[in-house]
Chain A
Amino acid sequence: MQRGDYLIRKTFYALITLIVVIIFNFFLFRILPGDPVRALIQNARMDHDAVDRIKAQFGLDKPIWFNFEGSTVQVIASEVSLLAEPEAGSSVEHTASAGERLNYEQRSEDGQWILAARSNAEGSVTARGWAPAESVKVSVNPLDSQFFVYMRNLLQGELGDSFAQRGVPVSELLAERVWRTVVLLVIGEVTAIVLGIMLGIVASWRRGSRLDTGIMLWGLFTWSIPTFFFGIILVILASGHLPTGRMVTVGLKPEDGWAYWADVGKHLILPTITLGIGFTSSYMMVMRSSIVEVLSEDYILTAKAKGLNTFQILRDHALKNAMLPMVTLITLSLGYTVGGAIQVETVFSWPGVGRLIYDAVGDRDFPVLQGAFLLIAISVIAANFLSDLLYSALDPRVKVE
């Protein structure tokens, strides 16, 4: 029963975190300087109407927080004439009949008149004029704002459509790319973990020796070198021998079977080496220091006294305890891994989520960024959740507080 409570509480906290992230995500990208429409159109020649149409299509014509502007006006008098100027005797722009809906534009300073517009099916305005305030009813929907539309869509499981790739749903983009990033990360991470643990063990067992110094130096070197820089060096070294960019040679299809997968495998080599080497050092150093710490414990001395050999001591006594900090590190680093993926995918033109994020930042593609960050947040939260569970399973001392 304790365990059930614990699970429920953890799940509850994870959900709260997720909600915070969802809200945070929305504002995070909107505080970036710049305007998505401007960033996307850049120098393209376009007229004002086209820009307005695009803004409306992206939903960027709405206010961010609350929409007090009101969206429509319903005619309640039997017939209303929209006047060019809010005064008697000015020319009639359009005559609206009872029940007709018009776009609300603004209220006059004295509040007596309302500027309304009639638009056709294409969304362009066909008539605009002032109506007496008492003859129309303005229906204000404060929730018709960018933020609440975003929340409502999310609740319905919709991540919206990409700005940059007009009309393509973000969920489709992510679904298509996520596995490519996962493949890259899993291979990179597994290499790093295996290599890191092995090197860490060797270094700690031989601590103080030249081997240890060598491994540590190498670890510090690879740890300090920026991922993108390391990637570029590899590109230069391997250029001509291995594919230096993209995921697969254009033209090959999954239907081609073995040839396709072999080609993908070749393209994977450089990015995964870059990721793997980059991650190895931190695992290695944490492994080394935690084994060193464990090795100084009295029970190791006892084990030695019992006549156990090196391998047995490491396996049965040192490793188990030393693995605890590793579990935390591995799960926690999942979040940072994505950051690494952005760099690696950009250097190697790997079409994964990282590249998507990189391009989306340049394009101020809010829906894609929101979707990708939500995905990252979910995986980080899930990893943390997993680490909590694993931790309590691995270390009996960690009990539910």
Chain B
Amino acid sequence: MKNKLWKLLTVMIALTMLITSLVGCTTPTEEPTESPAPEEPVVEPTEEPVVEPTDEPAPPEPVTMRIGTTFLLDTVNINVSWTSWQMWRLIYDSVVETGELGVYRPGLAESWEVSDDGLVWTFKIREGATFHDGTPCTAEEVAWSLNWMIDVGNDSLSYLWWNFTEVVALDATTLQITTGDPLGNMEYLMFWAFIVPESVWGQFDTYETMAEFVDLSAATGTGPYKLAEYEADDYLLLEANENYWGGKPPVDTIIFQQYASEDAMVQALMAGEVDIVDGIPSTALTTLQDLENVQVEIMQAYALDELSINTHEDGTQPESLLDPVVRKAIEYAIDREAINQVAYAGLGTPGTTMIAPSLGDWHNSEIEAVTFNIEEANRILDEAGYVDGDGDGIREWSDGTPLEYRLMATEGATYARMLEIISDGMAQAGISAPPTLMDYDSQAALVYAWDYDLNMWQWGMDIDPDFGMVIFKCEERYEWGWNPNGYCNEDYDALYVQSATAVDHEERRAVIWEMQEMIYEARPWIVLVYIPSMQAYDNTAFTGFKTDAANIWTKWSIMEVEPVQ
């Protein structure tokens, strides 16, 4: 019997080793980035999508679009969902929608205006929108939905509306929102206001009971698609909503098929199993570009790679890292162009601030990143008195401690190569920073304990600059906060309040530019590259995609797509 136990143990250990090796394969998924869009600009709401009685010769073949992806909806209950917002947007409508990156368009609201004191917002809700179950979506429904999410809870969204003091429908088409302070990003807050029906959610008045609801009917919205089938980690089948207020969508069925890797997806595209792939590895780029029937789209998005420098006053980093000169020298030693080449085939954009240029005028275009220059890095370190006294190739601080730092990133082949470039550059400037890779949550545990020196991370960011700003606030420096670099500055926090409450675009932009400059000069972050979004599709199946939203299958794009006959 003893050896039976041993056999079993061996099996278990072998499995454990396998599992541990698999742990390394996890890479962080993208953040709840967004950019989908509604429908054409302002369609007259009254035109009921009556079935056209035109003299069409034969009923057209139903059009099916298959999209390969590496992740699906995490659940059919949007209130406990943490990801896949682009898919949710096909099922639900928001009060405000987007088209091109950073451009807001009417959604369930046709228009909106704000009172002179900036505290009362009035939204005109369109007529004719109905939920998939047939209930009309009036201003009352919209108000109910917002209030319900605020009271009962929605994991990812309800906190956005913390400043709302009252949400009420004045009549069937007028929604009025009163806020505690003037808000500079009301469109953004309404862009995340997915409207859920009372007919489905009215039966739940506590978070706990609501969270358990995973029936397919949970996904009832007003969007152009209805959720017809869902197999977690497998596929998602959406059917066109014939009664969509924006008109019948041109694609009758959309199937999202999940693949275990981007490489498998590329194979599926080449074999004709899918029409679109949601992401392609830069290693497959040339192969796909050479194919005649495949169109590759490379779009600028707002995700970025960044190197955080631990500047927390209670951190375990060597004191020399708190010296701005050292941080500046580190930036001089980073070859952003090489990183862009290695990671994104040169298709990304070398980075400067936390707000990507694709966010339009929120990005401070006057900031110019210092360019890769080893001599300059060496010169400023020499000047500041960091010299290599013992001849080991590593500079020392005045107290004799060498400039040796821990440098880490998330596990993954690309990250490993990016870290090497950073580490090599720093070595040439007399700074030792051997690279270490670990999985995302181990990394997070160290970061939020301020037990690290240099950490490379990828961020999805969001359509509004607010998120980029939040990252550097003092109050975000806690275990579940957003500040991973330890930066804390009262002046910055004061500017943040200004940026959040500036209703005027120009006023808000000026503050946001100042904040970007402040962070750039202080260097708690060195933004490495703005990451391009790469997708591909079979151009013998569909054309007419909108490529201005960093994703070709946003609601905005899908409504415009043309099937190739």
- Distance in Å: Cβ of A238 to nearest Cβ of chain B: 9
- Least distance between B209 CB and chain A CB atoms (Å): 9
A324-364 interface code vs B (CB 8 A; 1 in, 0 out): 00000000100110110010001101010001111101101
The residues of A that contact B20 with a CB separation of less than 8 Å are: 32
How many whole Å from A23's CB to the nearest CB in chain B? 12
Among the stretches B170-178, B343-351, B435-443, B518-526, the one at the interface with A is: B435-443
Residues of chain A at interface, number, CB under 8 A? 69
Is A230 close to B, CB under 8 A?
no
B359 at the interface (CB under 8 A from A): no
Q: How many B residues face the partner with a CB closer than 8 A?
A: 78
CA distance A218 to B30 in the complex (A): 44
Contact B234 A351, beta carbon cutoff 8 Å: yes
Q: A50-B156, A168-B232 are in contact. Are A244 and B268 (CB under 8 A)?
A: yes
Q: Contact check, B32 vs A239: say whether CB atoms are below 8 A apart.
A: no
B23 at the interface (CB under 8 A from A): yes
Q: Is the CB of B235 within 8 A of A166?
A: no
Flag the segment in B9-17, B194-202, B425-433, B533-541 that touches A. B9-17
Rounded to whole angstroms, the CA-CA distance of A21 and B255 in the bound complex is: 40
> In the complex, how many angstroms separate the beta carbon of A65 from the nearest chain B beta carbon?
20
- Counting CB contacts under 8 A, is A157 at the interface? no
Query: Measured between alpha carbons, how far is A48 from B475 in the docked complex, in Å?
Result: 12
Q: A50-B156, A244-B267, A342-B18 are in contact. Are A167 and B211 (CB under 8 A)?
A: yes
* Chain B: CB-nearest residue to A245: B264
Q: Is the beta-carbon distance between A168 and B83 smaller than 8 angstroms? A: no
B32 near A43 with CB under 8 A, answer: yes
A217 lies within 8 A of chain B by Cβ: no
Contact B208 A57 (CB under 8 A): yes
B74-105 vs A, Cβ < 8 Å mask (1 yes, 0 no): 11010010110000000000000000000000
What 0/1 readout, one digit per residue, does chain A (351-380) give for beta carbons within 8 Å of chain B? 100011111011010000000010011001
Residues of B within 8 Å of A336, CB to CB, are 11, 14
Chain A residues, Cβ within 8 Å of B4: 13, 17, 384
Q: Are B208 and A122 in contact (CB under 8 A)?
A: yes
Q: Is the CB of A121 closer than 8 A to any CB of chain B?
A: yes
Nearest B residue to A340 via CB reads: B18
Distance in Å from the Cβ of A305 to the closest Cβ of chain B?
39
Chain B binder among A33-41, A77-85, A99-107, A312-320: A33-41
Main secondary structure of the interface of A (DSSP, over half): helix
CB distance from A175 to the nearest CB of B (A): 14
Question: Which residue on B lies nearest to A121, using beta carbons?
Answer: B206
- Report if A45 contacts B (CB, 8 A): yes
Measured in the bound complex, the distance between the Cα atoms of B31 and A195 in whole Å is 49
- State the CA gap A51–B153 with chains docked (Å): 12
Flag if A250 contacts B235 (CB, 8 Å).
yes
Q: B248 interface residue, CB < 8 Å from A?
A: no
Query: Which chain A residues numbered 8 to 58 have a C-beta less than 8 Å away from chain B?
Result: 13, 17, 20-21, 24, 28, 32-35, 38-51, 53-54, 57
Q: Is the CB of A349 within 8 A of B7?
A: no
Contact B75 A47 (CB under 8 A): no
Q: Which of A45, A356, A357 contacts B31 (CB 8 A)?
A: A45
A49 to B19, CA, bound (A): 32
Determine the distance from Cα of A13 to Cα of B6 in the docked complex, in whole angstroms.
Answer: 13
Is B207 part of the binding interface, using a Cβ–Cβ cutoff of 8 Å? Answer: yes
Which A residues touch B264, using CB under 8 A?
A: 235, 244-245, 347, 349
A17 touches B255 (CB 8 A): no
Q: Which residues of A contact B153 (CB under 8 A)?
A: 50, 53, 122
Q: Give the top 9 A-B pairs by smallest Cβ distance, nearest first.
A: A34-B441, A43-B31, A47-B159, A335-B11, A362-B26, A44-B82, A33-B442, A38-B441, A167-B214
